[in-house]
Amino acid sequence: MAVVVLDKICKTYGNKFHAIKDLSLTIEDGEFLILVGPSGCGKSTALRMIAGLEEITSGTLSIGGQDVEDLPPKDRDIAMVFQNYALYPHMTVFDNIAFSMKLAGKSKAEREKRVNEIAKVLQLETLLQNKPAHLSGGQRQRVAMGRAMVREPAAFLMDEPLSNLDAKLRVQMRAEIAGLQRQLGVTTIYVTHDQTEAMTMGDRVAVLKGGVLQQVDTPKALYHHPVNAFVAGFIGSPSMNLFEGRLENRSLRFASVSLPLPPAAFERAPGLARFEGKSVVFGIRPEDLYDSKLPSGSAFSTVPAMVKSIEELGSELIVHLKLDASRVDSGDPDAVEDLSGAANTVAKFEAASTIQLGQQIDLAIDASKLHFFDPVTHLAL
């Protein structure tokens, strides 16, 4: 069983800088876990500590039940796939894949058998005699995977393995790696800054910010139940729109409007009722905003908005809007301030939408899909 357990792992550089703070995480046997977060959040540092390429400042790490924090990388039974593939340019694909077996003293027959098996899985059979320079980016990526697979490690560690590929190939390789991981069933920890990769590939996703684990959950749970405003804004594309408003008489007051909140909003956010008469941060995903054509059966309210720009993606429109804050009662001392989010609200509309640039629309909000956060701690209510 290759369960990987991180227990209160810390990494400090110099005296004070905490690149990773108290990271506790269990990656189950055969699981595909994605570590995701913005640049500098510490995800590569975490992966490098698991690999043994970076010393752990404090905490414990075990792989397959064995404490490994004092073992060198070669004794940890892991294989790492890097962003630059690290292939030997002078060797053929066969020799690149077979390299670690050769080092381990395996016979030629054993090497041929194993490399041929792997080449079949990775569809590299016709390329075994090529040198890396004569391969496409995707093929090189597959050779790098082959090099990792040949060792039959307890765990694969992958650090942004797709970042050197063009957009189309990245999408293709995303599916290939995820499929391969499922087929092999090897515990895999995969680092990326790309939330789409995280959401489409992993069994579970761990979101890091500033060296601190924010949430670890299935992609679906992260999307529907983010624990705080950071995760809410990081997961999903385009990002969730976040605003500040005030809860008054079970309505949400913001910009020029007062949105009545349906019971479903209070059920989704059990802590919301405590904020009666107070400010709250709230969020709505672009896909939960609509132009005038409303799906039936949901709790909608409308907000006046002006169309600032339209990105036509063929299958849908990404629309940038300015919510009309001009109708806020300026004489009202309790008027909610104009919102940072109001200046640029992003919506995803159906391709059939007929909205025009500069048009004033009644933007429909599905109030049952709102997310609410504490304005001070930013934790989900």
Residues of the shown chain interacting with ligand ATP in the complex, contacts defined by CB under 6 A? 13, 17, 19, 37, 39-45, 193
Least Cβ distance, residue 12 to ligand ATP (angstroms)? 9
- At what angle are helices 137-149 and 93-103 packed, to 10 degrees? 20
Question: Rounded to the nearest whole angstrom, what is the least distance from the CB of residue 41 to ligand ATP in the complex?
Answer: 4
Are the C-beta atoms of residues 231 and 222 closer than 8 Å to each other?
A: yes
Cis upstream peptide for 238 (omega within 30°)? yes
In whole angstroms, the minimum distance from the beta carbon of 154 to ligand ATP comes to 23
**Min. distance of Cβ 47 from ligand ATP in angstroms?**
8
User: Which is it for the CA torsion 41, 42, 44, 50, positive or negative?
Assistant: negative
Q: Read off the tokens for 325.
A: 């804050």
Residue 199 CB, nearest approach to ligand ATP (Å)? 17
Q: Which is nearer to ligand ATP, 18 or 322 (by Cβ)?
A: 18
| Least gap, CB of 195 to ligand ATP (angstroms) | 12
Contacts of 11 (CB under 8 A, 6+ apart): 18, 19, 20, 42, 45, 46, 49, 54, 56, 57, 211
Q: Compare residues 82 and 88 and give the one whose CB is closer to ligand ATP.
A: 82
40/59 with CB nearer ligand ATP:
40
Q: How far is the CB of 51 from ligand ATP (least distance, A)?
A: 12
Q: What is the 3-state secondary structure (H, E, C) of 86-117?
A: CCCCCCCHHHHHHHHHHHCCCCHHHHHHHHHH
User: What is the nearest approach in angstroms of ligand ATP to the Cβ of residue 193?
Assistant: 5
Nearer to ligand ATP, 47 or 363 (CB): 47
Give ∠ CA 120-121-123 in degrees, rounded to 5: 60
Return the amino acid letter for 127: L
CA distance 337 to 290: 24
Give 44 or 353: the residue with its C-beta nearer to ligand ATP: 44
Nearer to ligand ATP, 135 or 162 (CB): 162
Return the number of the residue (114 or 193) whose C-beta is nearest ligand ATP: 193
How far apart CA 42 and CA 50 sit, in angstroms, is 13
DSSP conformation class of 239? P
* Residue of minimal Cβ distance to ligand ATP: 44
Distance CA 96, CA 145 (A): 11
Nearer to ligand ATP, 10 or 310 (CB): 10
Contact 76, 52 (CB under 8 A): yes
